[in-house]
Structure 1
Amino acid sequence: MQRTARLLALIAGLCACALATEAAAQKYPTRPVKIMVGFSAGGPVDVVARIIGDRLGAKLGQPFVVENRAGANGMIAAEGVAHADADGYTMLACNSSTITLNKTLFKDIRYDPQGDFAPLTTVISAPLVLVVNPENPKTANIKTLADLVAAARAAPGELAYGSGGNGNLAHLAMELLSQRAGIKMIHVPYRGGAASEVGILAQEVLAVFDPLSAVPLVKGGKLRALAVSSAERLPSLPDVPTVAEAGYPGFDLSFWVGFFMPKAVPAPILETLHREIVTAAKDPAVAEKLGSQGVVNVLSPAEYAAKIAKETKELAEVVAAANIKAE
């Protein structure tokens, strides 16, 4: 009899907790929500966080306040969110490297990218554009990805490509392509993507996986686009094939910005935030603002988790095979 009474009391307690959680979620939010950004103000992650945060605040009736904690490739902010209270009032806005790369590149990481967070959705995706300089005599006849691969095979270990630094996405994209194509090129790390773009324009390197900032240079004839790194073609460069279309199926690597919450945040809150972020990103006025940072791309939490798992495994293999060390 006493055992039955204790069991009934336990069930009643669990039901009460569930009802309290649901009630709290229905009222959510009742105070400002902090969006942690691990990078400086004005960068892609910060811009996306502020655009989405403003729309969330207007829709949900409480401010979504961006707090910049720059440093360690986004790890400071990520660690703060990973260890925050799971009450729905601390959110992380970050880029792909913070989640898919840091654990591979850094030994002192103090959060589990896949174990500590509940993924909400990506918001924008920014493919890379593989470019050469048409004015460089060495690349005058390189008009397709196949041409570049052929040239690299004819001169193994002699042709140079640039990137924004050791371990950044442009570096890894070229290493991934090199491994898939069975070629070897020399890596020239610059201090940032803008510097690598200057390097290819100055004919210091033959090729670069450039960010979307290269599109005007391609359209102006200063650079020649061979392929884009995403699974789908860029609307702004519809005639440029994807790397996958050019002979390397499954190649899909882009810089993305998305949102996360601590793992144990109640499901109703996660569902509310996912729904409202997706709704905001798809709004034409918001999408236009986001367009300066990349292509609007939203995913379900399950799709997002699968994407993270795939990219993490793939990039870890690239880093190990190429023996890449973080700067």
Structure 2
Amino acid sequence: MKRRFLVKSTLALGALCGTGTAQAQTYPTTGVKMVVGFSPGGTVDVVARVLAEHLTTTLGQTFIVDNRTGANGMLAAQTVAKAEPDGHTIFVSNSSSITLNPTLFKNLTYDPERDFTPVTTVVAVPLILAVNPDNPETASVKTFQDFLALVKAKPGAVPFGSAGVGNITHLAFELLGDRAGFKMMHVPYRGAAAAQAAIFSKEVIAIFDTMAAVPHVRTGKLRALAVSSSQRLPALPDVPTVAELGYPGFDITFWVGLFVPKATPQGIVDRLNREVIAATAVPAVRAKLEMQGGVLTQTPAAFAAKVKSETAELAAIVAKAKITVE
């Protein structure tokens, strides 16, 4: 009896595996919706559209971008969490919606670990620590060490700008201050563009900016002191990483990745992973993605591990800095 049960169980498992393999081979069977939680033109939207255009051509079905804006990506996350787990609805998300929202918001209507399966990251966007060389207070700040000397001389009094309370551009300063032993005055703005405007108007002394800072660094309107990623930014190869400057392990970036509903067959997850990685190897596709950040792909398992470790790290930063969001 026991042996018969084992045989039946093995056959059933084999049938399921076979079904998953067959689904992966025929996927996609209809149009695919790529749900984005932010407005057209932003980094997440651009990455989604670059991939959608390529995958439509290579996989023979239409991949369309569906912008469900609102609540820092929460509306889009809810949409995908409730979708059929067949690979035909994909959540194209920034890192904050996955690793930060669970810590910042008490009544989150989705659970990243429970509701989604990671597919792969696509790009990772380092943050650029920048000052305004035309500001008399930072005219002489030419290096990261100069910056440390300035902020340590006036504990808690030197203002920095961010894209909002709890935003990654805020947490980067909190993490850096914790590691380097300084405290600054936080001035939150409504978005990265407003924070950048604030440094030009001399309202703040420093910002951790996005790739939008690169053109201004090249023209000399901003002075880049360091980048927040573990690797130097190809667009600014002479700017050192924070880790290089004496803080090993410092690595905080804004990434864009793909997720599918939790029960999506592994075969489809793996197929999507392979197709996206192949897309990033196409020179024309890669060139467009590199305008948004450094291309970064990985296996679903590696991505899942990254999400888990990063969520814990950000939760620790939020708790230590006592950050709360209304």
Partner of 1:154: 153
Counterpart of 1:245 in structure 2 is 244
Q: Which residue identity does 1:86 align to in structure 2? A: P
For residue 229 of structure 1, report the CA deviation from its aligned partner: 0.6
| Residues 140 and 283 of structure 1: CA distance in aligned 2, closer, same or farther (over 3 Å) | same
SS of residue in 1 equivalent to 2:233? coil
Cα distance between partner residues in 1 of 2:20 and 2:189: 50
Q: Which moved more, 1:26-35 or 1:250-259?
A: 26-35
Query: In structure 1, what is the equivalent of residue 302 of structure 2?
Result: 303
State the SS of the aligned residue for 1:177.
helix
Alignment of 1:100-179 (within 5 A): 100-179=99-178
2:293 match? 294
Moved more, 20-29 or 279-288: 20-29
Q: Is the 8 A contact 2:35 2:80 kept in 1?
A: yes
C-alpha spacing 1:22/1:299, structure 2 compared with 1 (3 Å): closer
Q: Per-residue displacement from partner, 1:21-43 (whole Å, max 9, x unpaired)?
A: 32222211111122111112222
For 2:266, give the aligned amino acid. Answer: A
Following superposition, the deviation at residue 3 of structure 1 comes to 6.1
- What residue in structure 2 maps to residue 325 of structure 1? 324
Residue type of the alignment partner of 1:175: E
2:144 partner amino acid: L
Post-superposition CA distance 1:261-288 (Å, at most 9, x none): 1222111111110000011012110011
Q: Which moved more, 1:239-248 or 1:23-32?
A: 23-32
Residue aligning to 2:253: 254
Which amino acid is the alignment partner of residue 134 of structure 2? E
Task: Give the length in aligned residue pairs.
Answer: 326
CA distance in 1, matches of 2:38, 2:97: 10
* C-alpha separation in 2, matches of 1:310 and 1:5: 43
- TM-score w.r.t. structure 2 length? 0.95
Counterpart Cα distance in 2 of 1:19 and 1:131: 54
How big is each residue's C-alpha offset from its partner over 1:47-99, in whole Å with a ceiling of 9 and x where there is no partner?
11111012112111111122121111111111222232222221110101011
Q: Could you tell me which residue of structure 2 aligns to residue 182 of structure 1?
A: 181
Identity among equivalent positions (%) equals: 55
SS in 1 for 2:119: strand
Give the SS at the match of 2:137. Answer: helix
TM-score of the superposition, structure 1-length normalised?
0.95
1:264 corresponds to: 263
Structure 1 moving runs of 4+ over 6 Å: none
* 1:78-117 → structure 2 map (5 Å cutoff): 78-117=77-116
Structure 1 residue 6 displacement after superposition: 5.5
Unaligned runs of 5+ in 1: none
Are residues 1:50 and 2:16 paired? no
CA gap 1:146/1:267 in 2 versus in 1, 3 angstroms: same
203-212 or 138-147: which moved more?
Answer: 138-147
Q: CA deviation at 1:159?
A: 0.7
Go from structure 1 to structure 2 and tell me whether the alpha carbon gap of 1:14 and 1:295 turns closer, same or farther (over 3 Å shift). closer
